[in-house]
């Protein structure tokens, strides 16, 4: 049993800071509990003897019986003392509603850490601080100061914004939407999204999990848990704070393209979490997911009583990447023989402006039975002859007889209101315009696909971890952050990522020997920690033949000296010139919240200008590596376009898996760019030409 679950099932609750003054939060919490909760309620307030008819205690320690949950609403400075007392009283769970902690600055953050330390010392777990509280509708536990209590339902909601909680509860009251559990996460000093996701996941009353999050406390744990949870029930997340660019100076291509938002998008996608962009979408989706079955595929039938709305719905489906069903001949026959001649019997089915509810019902039931139909959108406009309530009743009837989703768009205001009421009461979602219905249907299709997807563990690969450890430990000792090209190449080689032949030399004679061994033409690159943009100042030269070697060698050294007379020059790298092949880039940027974000893309201008790249959070498995490659727009360039031979995509997959393994094994690798990798025709592999590794040494 999870700790967090105990909070929802507490049967004895102390409200520390309970108040009889109506405008105080300590009063609102007590009143919410008193309304319907059946367990024991103990107000705690040293200044009162009775509050709201209940005996009041000076401290939780004075409460005679067992207490399972403390709700704390005292001034911030007092919270540590209260937690200490809770610990002594063996109260294992506390909701700290009080504000004035991390959100209020440095002092508050210190106070918050102090609270957590005290709590953990006693084995007390905390929700909050700086939160609205929690609600469990199944046992009438409303331990919050929300002004409204939601009705019982099957949607669980957690939110990092208390203000959004109040807005949602207010909206739910208007829309008559029910919740199973409702949690305001506050500052997440202790318990956080993962703890509650676990509760929601196991909760039989919960069919849909919603979350408003501004960040993840434990991204790796979240991904593991989400992967499992989304197999059971949909998890819909509004992740805000897309703009929090963060102050980190980014040194690599991958780093500059990654950004935390791409990291979240990748993490959610990989784990089947449905990401939404607005509160509207969050609830549009929640209502459909909580009431309608999932579509088997993306083929949608539209039933409408007018041409215009039919076209609007068709456009919406196309924009949402849904297919319009092609009906079977049987469906066509049935529609033709039962609908008026002027009706459109193909998709979208137009039952015409004078459609009775029976005609709607016939069309709807006929298309629902069609094996080429996975879901239906019913569009309606209030025309003179339209019997809106009866149409709604027929839609409800049809929805009870089918295992396919039906989403409605009854367009209008006053005339359609009561029909929409009939739909909502009976669990058929309605959207003001077909656009949202289509978008929601698309989300359902995608969730179904994601749920089917089996996540496999990456296969074992042989790597030489020892060599990398040694290189990194030297770098750590020497405080090196930008690893040298040669060391970076050695690291790649140790993990089985093939690099072009390179040799570090100190003299021209060594260079000649190295070039003879590597084969001409070669490239020469000055290696120096002091010189960053080597090619800009003539410290790199390519396509050097045997004849030109001496002059080229002299030139790069001279240019380095000219640029920085005192530069510490490690030597000159003599490198194999890789001819042919197409340039790609693979890389990694470590996101502070979700971990190593792996990137793949075509090299050169594709990555720089067109940003045609894909991301996954590592460690990758084979499917993910493959999909990363195939989902970029420029994929045909790799897979053979215009009669060209396909390139060695399998070997690229392998390189991604090895890169993933490398960055999983060595968390001190902060950023990594292999750019370019040249990939050759199928069977001929690839070669990493240049690589950049940036380290972060733990202090």
Please state, in angstroms and rounded to a whole number, the distance separating the CA atoms of residues 158 and 235. Answer: 11
- 316-375: which residues touch its own copies (CB under 8 A)? 316, 318-319, 342, 353
- Give 225 or 388: the residue with its C-beta nearer to its own copies: 388
Which of 75, 123, 246, 307: binder of its own copies (CB under 8 A)? 307
- Least separation in angstroms between residue 354's CB and its own copies is 10
User: Interacting stretch for its own copies, rule CB under 8 A, among 40-48, 111-119, 432-440, 683-691?
Assistant: 432-440
From the list 605, 646, 683, 697, which residue makes contact with its own copies (rule: CB under 8 A)? 605
- Please say which residue, 383 or 570, places its beta carbon nearer to its own copies: 383
Contact assessment for residue 158 and residue 211, using Cβ atoms and an 8 Å cutoff? yes
Among 636, 646, 667, 683, which residue sits at the site for its own copies (rule: CB under 8 A)? Answer: 636
Give me the residue label for tokens 């039952």. 351
**CA-CA distance, 613 to 588, in Å (whole number)?**
12
Report the 10 Å Cβ neighbour count for 548.
16
Task: Write the DSSP string, 379-411.
Answer: EE---TT--HHHHHHHHHHHHHH-SS-EEEEE-
Tally Cβ neighbours within 10 Å of residue 1: 8
Smaller CB distance to its own copies: residue 238 or 515?
238
The piece of 155-163, 191-199, 554-562, 570-578 that touches its own copies (CB under 8 A) is 155-163
Q: How many CB atoms lie within 10 A of CB 535?
A: 10
Which run of H or E residues covers position 550? helix 549-563
Alpha-carbon distance of 638 to 686, in angstroms, equals: 12
Identify the sign of the CA torsion 163, 166, 169, 174.
Answer: negative
Candidate residues 162, 186, 419, 581; the one interacting with its own copies per rule CB under 8 A:
162
Binding test (CB under 8 A) with its own copies, winner from 435, 493, 622, 668: 435
**Near its own copies by CB under 8 A: residue from 73, 416, 549, 594:** 416
Q: Is the peptide bond before 197 cis (omega within 30 degrees of 0)?
A: no
Q: Which of residues 264-293 bind its own copies (CB under 8 A)?
A: 277-280
- Contact between 157 and 177 under an 8 Å Cβ cutoff? The reply is no
Among 19, 93, 98, 160, binds its own copies (CB under 8 A): 160
For its own copies, the binding residue among 396, 481, 567, 637 (CB under 8 A) is 637
| Cα distance between residue 225 and residue 260, in whole Å | 20
Query: Between residue 27 and residue 46, which ones bind its own copies under the rule CB under 8 A?
Result: 28
Minimum Å distance from CB 307 to its own copies?
Answer: 6
- Nearest Cα residue to 284 out of 407, 399, 196: 407
Q: How far is the CB of 101 from its own copies (least distance, A)?
A: 12
Of residues 221, 293, 412, 538, which one binds its own copies by CB under 8 A? 412
Nearer to its own copies, 163 or 474 (CB): 163
Out of 34, 104, 250, 481, the residue judged to bind its own copies by CB under 8 A: 104
When binding is defined by CB under 8 A, the residue of 65, 414, 478, 698 that contacts its own copies is 414
Does 174 participate in binding its own copies (rule CB under 8 A)?
A: yes
Least separation in angstroms between CB 508 and its own copies: 29
Tokens representing 365? 């039931």
Q: Which tokens hold the place of 671?
A: 């950023």
Q: State in angstroms the smallest separation of the CB of 519 from its own copies.
A: 28
What is the C-alpha radius of gyration for the chain, rounded to an integer number of angstroms? Answer: 32
Nearer to its own copies, 496 or 640 (CB): 640
User: What is the Cα 585 distance to its own chain's centre?
Assistant: 24
**For residue 34, what are its two tokens?**
């008193």
Q: What residues between 183 and 212 interact with its own copies by CB under 8 A?
A: 212
Using CB under 8 A as the binding rule, whether residue 25 contacts its own copies is answered as yes
- How many residues form the binding site for its own copies (CB under 8 A)? 76
Extract the tokens encoding 324.
Answer: 């319009």
Q: Which is nearer to its own copies, 287 or 416 (CB)?
A: 416
Question: Interaction with its own copies in 234-253: which residues (CB under 8 A)?
Answer: 238, 240-243
CA–CA separation, 662 and 669 (whole Å): 9
Please identify, using beta-carbon distances, which residue of 385 and 558 lies nearer to its own copies.
385
Does residue 106 interact with its own copies by CB under 8 A? Answer: no
Q: Which of 172, 226, 406, 629 binds its own copies (CB under 8 A)?
A: 172
Footprint of its own copies on residues 379-398 (CB under 8 A)? Answer: 381-385
Position of tokens 């508050």? 108
Q: Which residues 440-479 are close enough to bind its own copies by CB under 8 A?
A: none
What 324-329 contacts at long range (C-beta under 8 Å, 24+ apart), as own/partner pairs, is 324/299, 324/300, 324/348, 325/299, 325/300, 325/301, 325/367, 325/370, 325/372, 325/373, 325/374, 326/299, 326/372, 327/301, 327/367, 327/370, 327/372, 327/373, 328/370, 328/371, 328/372
Residue range at the interface with its own copies (CB under 8 A); choices 31-39, 142-150, 295-303, 619-627: 142-150
- Residue 145 within binding range of its own copies, rule CB under 8 A: yes
Query: What letters, b where the CB count within 10 A reaches 16 and e where it falls short, cover 316-328?
Result: bbeebebebbebe
Instruction: Tell me the closest approach of the beta carbon of residue 40 to its own copies, in angstroms.
Output: 26
Query: Closest approach of Cβ 434 to its own copies, in Å?
Result: 8
The residue (of 42 and 182) whose beta carbon lies closer to its own copies is 182
- When binding is defined by CB under 8 A, the residue of 49, 78, 103, 519 that contacts its own copies is 103
Are the C-beta atoms of 672 and 658 separated by less than 8 Å?
A: no
In the bound complex, what is the minimum distance in angstroms from residue 372's beta carbon to its own copies?
Answer: 18
């Amino acid at each position: 049993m999870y700790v967090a679950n105990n909070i929802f099932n507490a049967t004895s609750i102390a409200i520390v800071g309970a108040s009889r003054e109506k405008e105080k939060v300590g009063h609102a919490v007590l009143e919410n509990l008193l309304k319907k909760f059946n367990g024991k309620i103990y107000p705690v307030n040293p200044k009162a003897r009775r509050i709201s008819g209940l005996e009041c205690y000076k401290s939780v320690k004075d409460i005679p019986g067992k207490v399972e949950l403390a709700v704390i609403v005292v001034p911030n400075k007092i919270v540590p003392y209260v937690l200490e007392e809770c610990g002594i009283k063996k109260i294992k769970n506390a909701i700290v509603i009080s504000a004035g902690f991390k959100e209020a600055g440095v002092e508050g953050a210190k106070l918050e850490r102090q609270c957590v330390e005290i709590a953990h010392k006693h084995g007390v777990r905390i929700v909050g601080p700086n939160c609205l509280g929690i609600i469990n509708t199944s046992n009438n536990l409303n331990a919050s100061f929300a002004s409204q209590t939601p009705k019982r339902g099957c949607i669980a909601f957690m939110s990092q914004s208390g203000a959004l909680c109040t807005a949602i509860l207010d909206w739910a009251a208007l829309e008559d939407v029910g919740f199973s559990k409702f949690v305001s996460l506050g500052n997440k000093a202790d318990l956080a999204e993962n703890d509650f996701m676990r509760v929601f996941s196991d909760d039989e009353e919960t069919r849909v999990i919603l979350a408003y999050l501004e960040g993840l406390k434990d991204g790796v744990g979240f991904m593991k848990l989400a992967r499992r949870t989304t197999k059971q029930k949909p998890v819909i997340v509004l992740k805000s704070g897309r703009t929090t660019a963060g102050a980190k100076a980014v040194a690599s291509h991958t780093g500059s393209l990654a950004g935390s938002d791409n990291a979240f998008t990748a993490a959610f996608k990989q784990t089947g979490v449905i990401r939404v962009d607005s509160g509207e979408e969050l609830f549009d989706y929640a209502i459909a997911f909580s009431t309608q079955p999932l579509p088997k595929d993306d083929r949608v039938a539209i039933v409408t009583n007018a041409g215009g709305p039919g076209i609007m719905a068709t456009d919406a489906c196309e924009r949402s990447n849904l297919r319009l069903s092609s009906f079977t001949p049987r469906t066509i026959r049935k529609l033709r023989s039962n609908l008026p001649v002027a009706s459109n019997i193909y998709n979208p089915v137009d039952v015409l402006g004078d459609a009775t509810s029976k005609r709607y019902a016939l069309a709807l039931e006929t298309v629902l039975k069609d094996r080429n139909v996975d879901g239906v959108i019913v569009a309606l406009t209030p025309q003179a002859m339209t019997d809106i309530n009866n149409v709604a009743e027929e839609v409800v009837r049809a929805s009870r007889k089918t295992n396919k989703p039906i989403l409605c768009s009854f367009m209008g205001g006053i005339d359609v209101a009561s029909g929409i009421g009939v739909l909502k009461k009976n669990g058929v979602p309605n959207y003001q315009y077909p656009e949202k219905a289509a978008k929601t249907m698309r989300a359902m299709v995608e969730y179904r696909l994601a749920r089917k997807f089996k996540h496999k563990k990456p296969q074992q690969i042989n790597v030489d971890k020892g060599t990398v450890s040694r290189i990194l430990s030297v770098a750590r000792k020497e405080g090196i952050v930008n690893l040298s090209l040669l060391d970076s190449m050695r690291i790649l080689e140790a993990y089985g990522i093939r690099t072009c032949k390179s040799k570090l030399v100190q003299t021209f004679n060594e260079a000649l020997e190295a070039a003879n061994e590597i084969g001409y033409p070669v490239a020469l690159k000055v290696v120096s920690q002091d010189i960053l943009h080597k090619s800009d100042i003539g410290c790199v030269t390519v396509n050097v033949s045997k004849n030109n070697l001496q002059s080229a060698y002299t030139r790069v050294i001279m240019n380095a000296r000219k640029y920085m007379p005192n530069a510490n020059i490690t030597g000159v790298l003599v490198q194999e010139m890789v001819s042919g092949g197409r340039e790609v880039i693979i890389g990694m940027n470590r996101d502070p919240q979700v971990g190593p974000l792996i990137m793949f893309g075509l090299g050169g201008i594709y990555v720089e200008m067109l940003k045609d790249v894909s991301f996954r959070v590592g460690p990758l498995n084979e499917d993910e590596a493959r999909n990363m490659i195939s989902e970029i727009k420029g994929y045909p360039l790799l897979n053979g376009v215009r009669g060209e031979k396909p390139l060695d995509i399998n070997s690229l997959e392998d390189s991604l898996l090895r890169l993933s393994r490398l960055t999983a094994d060595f968390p001190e690798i902060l950023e990594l760019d292999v750019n370019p990798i040249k990939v050759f025709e199928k069977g001929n592999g690839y070669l990493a030409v240049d690589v950049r590794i940036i380290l972060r040494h733990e202090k």
